[in-house]
Amino acid sequence: MYIEDAIVSENKAIAEGIYRLDLSAPRIAATAQPGQFVNILVHDDLIPLLRRPMSVAGVNGDNLALIYKIFGAGTTIMESWASGQRVNLLGPLGHGWEYDSERLPILVGGGVGLAPINFLHEYLLGISKEHWLVIGARSKKEHFLAHDPANGILLTTDDGSAGFHGTALDGLQSVLRENKNAPHQIFACGPPAMLEAIGTYTVKAALPCQLAVEEMMGCGFGICQGCSIEAKVDADNDQPSYGKRFKLVCMDGPVFHADQLVLNHD
């Protein structure tokens, strides 16, 4: 974990409202693992007050890639960054995906949830490990990769405007049907509704599945206790979250095994 002044090398739109930011941050880049995140100080002014957490979407030498969506004040400021801009980062934070080399990885990403999935995808490409990548979106213009089932890349759209017509869960199920016999392992990140759907399905079907989740964060490294998430926590209370009912997204996550989380909130 470092505090590092990174330098923007590139910042460009890659789909509607979605940007890719490359920063030179040698120390963080050297240690970041797929699934980890950085906490970004977007402004010297006191609004926004808190840092903004963003998953690492890839590492290339000294460079760190982020993929972000314009949401509010913080991401609007990020959009304005030109190359050369100095950006204070805290990271790498949290713990990432637990990858089991014996199993077929099926990666499922939706929206900007693609960021930590993309990093894992690139890692698997790097070690030449065959895997599936399922990416869900509402429509074509939110996609920035090409539908390429022959190479294990399946795009889905809610409106059928590109790739597979259906949700990311539909896409995952179709991949599962095609790979019935391989022992597999699912990695998913995306909007809450998608994670709930995939988590609920995989837990019911007893499929090994990890989810990368989001929660409002104060610090990103365990000192505020703000990023709690309801979880099925075991008796050991020496974890940073101190409790038996909550986990901390920043320390115990952001990657959790689906069966450890309380997924239905009503």
Ligand X SMILES: Cc1cc2nc3c(=O)[nH]c(=O)nc-3n(C[C@H](O)[C@H](O)[C@H](O)COP(=O)(O)O)c2cc1C
**Shortest distance (Å) from residue 139 CB to ligand FES:** 33
**Shortest distance (Å) from residue 112 CB to ligand FES:** 19
**Rule CB under 6 A: is residue 222 a binding residue for ligand X?**
no
Neighbour order of strands in the sheet with 255-257: 164-165, 153-157, 132-137, 104-110, 184-189, 209-212, 255-257
Among the residue ranges 61-69, 173-181, 196-204, 256-264, the one whose residues contact ligand FAD (CB under 6 A): 61-69
**Shortest distance (Å) from residue 94 CB to ligand FES:** 9
Q: Which residue is nearest to ligand FAD (CB)?
A: 72
Single residue of 73, 125, 224, 262 touching ligand X by CB under 6 A: 224
- The smaller minimum CB distance to ligand FES, of residues 71 and 242, is found at 242
Residues 16-55 that bind a second copy (CB under 8 A): 45-47
State the binding partner of 208 from ligand X, other proteins, ligand FES, none, CB within 5 to 8 A by kind.
Answer: none
State the binding partner of 229 from other proteins, a second copy, ligand X, none, CB within 5 to 8 A by kind.
Answer: other proteins
- The smaller minimum CB distance to ligand FES, of residues 39 and 156, is found at 39
235 phi and psi angles, rounded to 5 deg: -65, -25
**Shortest distance (Å) from residue 15 CB to ligand FAD:** 12
What residue type is assigned to position 151 of the chain?
Answer: N
**Rule CB under 8 A: is residue 73 a binding residue for a second copy?**
yes
One DSSP character per residue, the chain reads: -EEEEEEEEEEEEEETTEEEEEEE-HHHHHH--TT-EEEEE--SSSSS-S-EEEE--EEETTEEEEEEE--SHHHHHHHT--TT-EEEEEEEESB-----TTSEEEEEEEGGGHHHHHHHHHHHHHTT---EEEEEESSGGG--S--BGGGTEEEEETTSSSSEES-HHHHHHHHHHHTTTS-EEEEEE--HHHHHHHHHHHHHTT--EEEE-----SSSSSSS---EEEB---S---STT-SSSEEETTTT-BEEEGGGB-----
Vertex 97 angle, CA 91 and 99, to 5°: 135
Q: Let me know: does 235 contact 244? Beta carbons within 8 Å.
A: yes
**Shortest distance (Å) from residue 90 CB to ligand X:** 17
**Rule CB under 6 A: is residue 226 a binding residue for ligand X?**
yes
State the binding partner of 136 from ligand FAD, ligand FES, other proteins, none, CB within 5 to 8 A by kind.
Answer: none
**Rule CB under 6 A: is residue 216 a binding residue for ligand X?**
no
**Rule CB under 6 A: is residue 17 a binding residue for ligand X?**
no
- The smaller minimum CB distance to a second copy, of residues 76 and 151, is found at 76
Q: Let me know: does 154 contact 132? Beta carbons within 8 Å.
A: yes
State the binding partner of 250 from other proteins, ligand FES, a second copy, none, CB within 5 to 8 A by kind.
Answer: ligand FES
List residues binding ligand FAD (CB under 6 A). 37, 48, 50, 52-55, 67-69, 71-75, 112, 115, 214-217, 249, 254
List residues binding a second copy (CB under 8 A). 45-47, 73
